[in-house]
Every structure is written in structure tokens, then in C-alpha cells.
Amino acid sequence: MNPSKAGASGVRPPRRTGPDIKAIPFNSSTDGVAVSLLSDAERHQLALIASIAHLKPASVLYEAGDPAEFLYIIIHGAVKTVRRLAGRKRAITAFLFPNDLVGLAAEGRYINTAVALAPLTVYRMPVAGLERVLLRNPELEYHFLCKVCHELREAQRHAISLGRKSAAERIAMLLHMLEHRQPPDMRDGEIALAMSRSDIADYAALSLESVSRTFRALQRGRIIAVRDKRHVRILDRARFEQLASTP
């Protein structure tokens, strides 16, 4: 029970945002939009043990090494999961968005630190209760399984990106992911960046300076336009997609 600064206010289910996917085992759509949305019945089950918490940007959901007492589902906002490396280096293993699962543990402890990137609303579920609920609701558990599979694929994509792609390609892939995962408050086709350049560097395994230079290079190539440090627009869709293409 890590109260932190965010008050866990009552139990109120989030609004329904889309249809379920059930038929295809361990499946998920590529962009994660329609993944792991819960049925009303499933939400009701979770509501029995979950509370809703609101957190301010930069607040910490949990710290690496803490006993893993809660699992979170993002309702609104964005989260980064950070790991400290040797010599004050940091790695961001994932950016997470609405409907994503946060707080997977190993040996009862969190393996990284989760930090809110924006005003955040989450379901907060004690793991002990969650295990009981899952074991009584195989379909709900199946949704969790699908969700974790999706995060696994995302992590593999990330690994390929870091290992085999150039700086420009990594940045393009990140922008591509953000474009597809962030809720459409990007009017006019603009991509809103919830994170700092430094966070981008830690995610893409680049130096801060390289991120900066890469953004500039993409601008000079007329591939993107950077209106403001937090707002990017795609100018040359074809070349952008080619850079961001996963294969």
C-alpha cells in the first residue's frame, strides 16, 4: 500500500471505448487500440477489488524494488517504466497508454519504476485480490493474457529497433507508435509527445544530443515538422512510414 500523493477515490468504471476481441487466441491488433477492453461484466468483477487513482504528472506509481502490491490499468494518461543502469544511465523499457497493464513483477517485487507522464487515471488492483478474481473469471484472465502477449510483441519490436535500426528509424518508430496509441487529441494529424527529449533518448537508447540532431535531420529532410518541442506533424507520409516500418 503505497499511498503516494494520489488519492484513490471511489470505484467508478471508466466509460466503454470499444468492442471486445475474443475469438482469436492470444491475439491482438497491431496498434493496440482495441486490445484488452473489458466487458461490462468483467469490469464489474474488477471493480470489486479495484480503486481508481488520479496522479499528477511526474508522480511515481511505484519504485523498482518495492514489493509488488498493486497492478494498474491505465484509464487515461501515459506512463513510462524506467530502469536504472550502471553509471547514472537510465533505460525506459516502455511507454504505456490507456488500457495498458502496468506493474508486472518478478519475485514479488517491481523490476522498474513507473512514472506518470501526464495527468493520469488508473485502475489500481491489489495483486492478491486480483489473483482470486482472475482464477474465478477465466475470460477476464484471458484478456490479461492477450494483453501481456501484446506487450511482449511490443518489447520484441523495441529490441529489434534498438539493435538494428538507425537513429532516424528509431525516432520514426517511436513517433509511429505514439501516433497510433495516443488518443486522438492530435487534431490536424499532429502527434503530441507526452515525454521529454531525455525520455525519448532513454527509450531509443540514444544520447540526448543524438535525439536532437535526429529531429533536426528529419525536419531538414521535410519528413516531419516540429512546431513545438511537444508537437510534431508528419509531412512526408511515405518516407515516414518507410522509416518506421517494422520488418
Partner DNA sequence: CGTACAGTTGATGATCATCAATCCCTGTGG
Partner DNA sequence: CCACAGGGATTGATGATCATCAACTGTACG
Binding mask 69-88 for a second copy (x = CB under 8 A): --x-----------xxxx--
Asked if residues 60 and 93 have their Cβ atoms less than 8 Å apart, the reply is no
Among 11, 48, 208, 225, binds DNA (CB under 7 A): 208
Which region among 6-14, 28-36, 185-193, 231-239 touches a second copy (by CB under 8 A)?
28-36
Asked if residues 226 and 219 have their Cβ atoms less than 8 Å apart, the reply is yes
Q: In what order do the strands lie in the sheet with 60-62?
A: 60-62, 113-116, 79-84, 90-96
Distance, C-alpha 231 to centroid of its chain:
18
Among 72, 97, 144, 215, binds a second copy (CB under 8 A): 144
Which region among 62-70, 117-125, 136-144, 195-203 touches DNA (by CB under 7 A)?
195-203
231 near DNA, rule: CB under 7 A = no
In this structure, the number of other CB atoms found within 10 A of the CB of residue 138 comes to 10
Binding mask 157-176 for DNA (x = CB under 7 A): ---------xxx--------
9 binds, among DNA, a second copy, none (CB under 5 to 8 A by kind): none
Asked if residues 197 and 229 have their Cβ atoms less than 8 Å apart, the reply is yes
Quote the crossing angle between the two packed helices 127-136 and 138-164, to the nearest 10°. Answer: 120
Measured CA distances, 207 to 89, 154, 197, 201 (Å): 10, 22, 10, 6
Residues making contact with a second copy (CB under 8 A): 24-30, 68, 71, 83-86, 89, 91, 93-94, 104-108, 111, 127-128, 130-131, 134-139, 141-142, 144-145, 148-153, 155-156, 158-160, 162-164, 204-205, 245, 247
